[in-house]
């Protein structure tokens, strides 16, 4: 994208309403704008990040055999009356009436809808297991929306739902999902630690939250540093083998990790002092096993091996995709701006033309840009170099390709690495090779 033609509005002023770094930076770097309390428009730069995160999440869901579908945002109250949650959900649910005076709602989550959909189709235990997910907007009328998209009212969530024929299979599915989550967060460049959690209004008795350590997090967290040392992408787990999944699950859960709500001081005291990590965390994912709560509650059964009705065992698994944009920034920024992990960065690099109009600079920049116009941002604006440097640091592109008249004459680009500040003097090919290295 050529910046002169793009819609990439940055702000010099620090917005007064933003209390935390990620919110300030998302407004200043032109990622989002608020359109109503807790509701945001995603500007082009923000949308690119959101889509990149969504894609990593999608690939890891597909890798464990989950299948994507897309359910609507608007739901009928009738479904929620069947599960008994229509009244129980309370004022967080946005209730709407259509012109026929039917009670509708903007979905805060989709357990009822997916259970009904699967129940309409699946008749026999032989058709199980099934894991389905979508990435869709949700609405929760939070009492105190705050910190921008961190706690919004409208937010983007990946929610998966699993149906198994037995408890053992359901637990294996839960463990598979835990592995997919650890891989997802690692690919997103953040450390998200799974912690035993309360199940809240979703219900059930096995649940983990995934938290990213950040001083502005809403929960206190305590965990064993052993959990930071794992490389989940290299971990060999046979996802079709229950024993292999169990070994993996035990390996994760044997190390202490809990939020303040579930903290156990006696267990914490057993963790060697040099491995105790204590701080605040942002919840970016939450997985639940809740058995037959919804299938039984909504009377949705299939025929079992013995011919008798069987209520499928369920779990649900959420990732806060829009919240992750903010959480990644909380975990990765400095005084000058955002520092995007390469996997989610809106662009691989920004090309800074320090002297538009200089023939050799323009030619060299065009050569760089022509290599991958969709993956590169080209700052071709008629602005001072200082403005370009500041905007590049603020927006946080992993690399800056700096082109000035002197270097251009020799065919040289100065490459700056945003995260480390390292600089390299390179030819066009060398610079592109570094920026596009796998």
Report in angstroms how near the CB of residue 133 gets to ligand 5CA at its nearest.
Answer: 8
Across the strands, what pairs with 400? Answer: 350, 416
Which CB, 186 or 316, lies closer to ligand 5CA?
316
DSSP 23-60: HHHHHHTTSEEEEETTEEEE-HHHHHHHHHHHHHHHHH
Distance (Å, rounded) from C-alpha 52 to C-alpha 397? 14
Distance (Å, rounded) from C-alpha 425 to C-alpha 407? 9
Interaction of residue 285 with ligand 5CA, rule CB under 6 A: yes
- Applying CB under 6 A, the span of 2-10, 25-33, 280-288, 290-298 interacting with ligand 5CA comes to 280-288
61-71 b/e (C-beta count within 10 Å ≥ 16 → b): beebebeeeeb
Q: State both tokens at 205.
A: 């008795």
User: Which of the residues 321 through 340 are near ligand 5CA (CB under 6 A)?
Assistant: 322-323
Name the closest residue to ligand 5CA (Cβ): 320
Interaction of residue 46 with ligand 5CA, rule CB under 6 A: no
Among 317, 347, 378, 399, binds ligand 5CA (CB under 6 A): 317
Which CB, 197 or 408, lies closer to ligand 5CA?
197
SS3 content of the chain, % helix, strand, coil (to 5): 35, 30, 35
Across the strands, what pairs with 305? Answer: none
User: Which of the residues 202 through 261 are near ligand 5CA (CB under 6 A)?
Assistant: 202
Distance (Å, rounded) from C-alpha 283 to C-alpha 194? 10
Report in angstroms how near the CB of residue 16 gets to ligand 5CA at its nearest.
Answer: 22
Which CB, 20 or 202, lies closer to ligand 5CA?
202
> 331 with 213: CB under 8 angstroms?
yes
Interaction of residue 50 with ligand 5CA, rule CB under 6 A: no
User: Which of the residues 99 through 138 are near ligand 5CA (CB under 6 A)?
Assistant: 109, 111
Which CB, 200 or 215, lies closer to ligand 5CA?
200
Report in angstroms how near the CB of residue 125 gets to ligand 5CA at its nearest.
Answer: 24
User: Which of the residues 75 through 104 are near ligand 5CA (CB under 6 A)?
Assistant: none
Distance (Å, rounded) from C-alpha 54 to C-alpha 196? 25
Interaction of residue 54 with ligand 5CA, rule CB under 6 A: no
Distance (Å, rounded) from C-alpha 70 to C-alpha 376? 31
Among 318, 337, 346, 396, binds ligand 5CA (CB under 6 A): 318
> 257 with 209: CB under 8 angstroms?
no
Interaction of residue 284 with ligand 5CA, rule CB under 6 A: yes
Within 13 Å and on the Cβ side, how many CA atoms surround 347? 28
Backbone dihedral angles phi then psi of residue 51, each to the nearest 5 degrees: -65, -35
C-alpha separations of 416 from 18, 72, 109, 348, 419 in Å: 29, 44, 43, 12, 9
Report in angstroms how near the CB of residue 202 gets to ligand 5CA at its nearest.
Answer: 5
User: Which of the residues 141 through 160 are near ligand 5CA (CB under 6 A)?
Assistant: 142, 151-152, 155, 157, 159
Report in angstroms how near the CB of residue 286 gets to ligand 5CA at its nearest.
Answer: 3
Q: State both tokens at 388.
A: 């370009």
Q: Tell me the angle at which helices 44-63 and 167-187 cross, rounded to the nearest 10 degrees.
A: 140
Which CB, 118 or 415, lies closer to ligand 5CA?
118
Which CB, 54 or 283, lies closer to ligand 5CA?
283
- Applying CB under 6 A, the span of 90-98, 316-324, 403-411, 427-435 interacting with ligand 5CA comes to 316-324
Interaction of residue 316 with ligand 5CA, rule CB under 6 A: yes
Q: How many residues bind ligand 5CA (CB under 6 A)?
A: 20
> 62 with 184: CB under 8 angstroms?
no
Which CB, 153 or 388, lies closer to ligand 5CA?
153
Query: Considering only CA atoms, which of 316, 311, 319, 103 is closest in space to residue 201?
Result: 316
Which CB, 295 or 353, lies closer to ligand 5CA?
295
Interaction of residue 283 with ligand 5CA, rule CB under 6 A: yes
Report in angstroms how near the CB of residue 15 gets to ligand 5CA at its nearest.
Answer: 19
Question: Residue 47 contacts by C-beta under 8 Å, 6 or more apart in sequence?
Answer: none
Report in angstroms how near the CB of residue 354 gets to ligand 5CA at its nearest.
Answer: 40
- Applying CB under 6 A, the span of 319-327, 345-353, 365-373, 376-384 interacting with ligand 5CA comes to 319-327
Query: Considering only CA atoms, which of 14, 6, 31, 126 is closest in space to residue 344?
Result: 31
Distance (Å, rounded) from C-alpha 24 to C-alpha 29? 8
Contact set with ligand 5CA (CB under 6 A) = 109, 111, 140, 142, 151-152, 155, 157, 159, 202, 283-286, 316-318, 320, 322-323
């Amino acid at each position: 994208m050529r910046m002169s033609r793009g819609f990439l509005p940055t702000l010099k002023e620090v917005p007064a309403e933003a209390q935390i770094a990620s919110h300030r930076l998302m407004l200043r770097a032109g990622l989002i704008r608020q359109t109503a309390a807790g509701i945001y428009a995603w500007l082009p730069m923000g949308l690119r990040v959101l889509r990149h995160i969504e894609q990593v999440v999608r690939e890891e869901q597909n890798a464990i055999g989950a299948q994507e579908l897309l359910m609507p945002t608007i739901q009928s109250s009738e479904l929620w009356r069947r599960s008994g949650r229509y009244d129980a959900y309370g004022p967080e649910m946005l209730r709407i009436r259509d012109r026929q005076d039917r009670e509708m709602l903007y979905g805060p989550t989709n357990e009822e809808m997916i259970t009904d959909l699967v129940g309409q189709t699946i008749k026999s235990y032989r058709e199980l297991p099934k894991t389905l997910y979508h990435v869709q907007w949700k609405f929760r009328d939070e009492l105190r929306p705050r910190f921008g998209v961190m706690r919004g009212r409208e937010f983007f969530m990946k929610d998966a739902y699993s149906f198994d024929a037995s408890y053992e299979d359901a637990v294996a599915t839960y463990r598979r999902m835990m592995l997919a989550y650890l891989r997802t967060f690692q690919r997103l460049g953040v450390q998200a630690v799974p912690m035993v959690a309360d199940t809240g209004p979703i219900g059930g008795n096995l649940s983990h939250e995934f938290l990213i350590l950040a001083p502005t997090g809403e929960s206190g967290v305590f965990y064993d540093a052993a959990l930071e040392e794992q490389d989940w992408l290299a971990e060999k787990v046979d996802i079709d083998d229950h024993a292999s999944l169990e070994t993996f699950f035990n390996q994760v859960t044997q190390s202490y990790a809990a939020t303040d709500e579930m903290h156990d001081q006696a267990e914490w005291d057993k963790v060697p002092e040099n491995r105790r990590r204590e701080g605040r965390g942002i919840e970016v994912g939450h997985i639940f096993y809740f058995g037959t709560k919804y299938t039984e509650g909504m009377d949705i059964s299939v025929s079992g091996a013995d011919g008798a009705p069987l209520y499928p065992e369920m779990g649900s698994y959420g990732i806060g995709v829009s919240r992750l944009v903010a959480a990644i920034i909380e975990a990765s920024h400095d005084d000058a701006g955002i520092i995007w992990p390469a996997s989610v960065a809106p662009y691989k690099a920004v090309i800074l033309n320090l002297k538009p109009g200089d023939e050799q600079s323009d030619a060299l920049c065009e050569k760089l840009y022509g290599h991958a116009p969709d993956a590169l941002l080209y700052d071709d604006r008629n602005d001072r170099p200082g403005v370009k440097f500041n905007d590049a640091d603020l927006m946080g592109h992993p690399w800056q390709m700096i082109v000035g008249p002197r270097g251009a004459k020799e065919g040289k680009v100065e490459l700056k690495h945003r995260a480390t500040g390292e600089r390299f003097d390179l030819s066009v090919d060398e610079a592109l090779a570094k920026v596009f290295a796998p």
